[in-house]
Amino acid sequence: MTTTPDDHLRYPIGRAELPTGPLSATERTACIQQIADLPAQLRAAAQAAGGEALQRPYRPGGWSGRQVIHHVADSHLNCYTRYRLALTEDNPTIRPYDETAWAELPDVAATPITVSLTLLEALHSRWITLLHHLTEAQWRRTFYHPGTEREFTLDQALVMYAWHGRHHLAHVESLRGQ
């Protein structure tokens, strides 16, 4: 994979690395805990950055902190839905969305970030409950992503979204020092 000069700003915790096989119980527990912790961490990072800083992009050409927070809620809502589809259908083809276009929709600018932070808290509460009740066989269930033209196991999705939360948390945290 080619790196660019701004990769450290785009990927402050590095790029996601998906497992090729099933996760161990310890690995799953760690990822689930990261997802569980994210809403409070993101709220604290937003408060520490302050309202004015959240209007600025975390990198040149990047989203504002406000857009990042709304994006995390949008993205994790989509992932939760993908889990539910994979658990109730045989390898469903999920519906991708244009996250950049979503970040430009008028509700992103007009809605206080507290709304998305509260949504994320409720969503993660429900999602974590689901994750704690999955069987070994359910973790191996899959969905197909037509945008990436690949199948993902629920284990891989867990790793991806644990990373996704930490990735965007680092973006919001970086605004504090700007």
Q: Which domain CATH number covers 167? A: 1.20.120.450
Do the domain assignments include residue 11? Answer: no
End-to-end alpha-carbon separation of the chain, Å?
29
Do the domain assignments include residue 78? Answer: yes
Torsion sign across C-alpha atoms 157, 158, 160, 166:
positive
Do the domain assignments include residue 163? Answer: yes
Specify the pTM.
0.95
Task: Give which of 123, 133, 125, 128 is closest to 77, Cα–Cα.
Answer: 123
Domains of the chain: total: 1
Do the domain assignments include residue 5? Answer: no
Residues belonging to the chain: 178
State the pLDDT at residue 8.
85
Averages of pLDDT over runs of 10 residues in the chain (178 residues) are: 72 94 97 98 97 94 96 98 98 96 97 98 98 98 97 98 98 89
State the pLDDT at residue 7.
83
Where do the H-state alpha helices sit in the chain? Answer: 7-10, 25-49, 65-88, 99-103, 106-110, 113-132, 136-139, 154-176
Do the domain assignments include residue 7? Answer: no
Q: Which domain holds residue 163?
A: 25-176
State the pLDDT at residue 4.
62
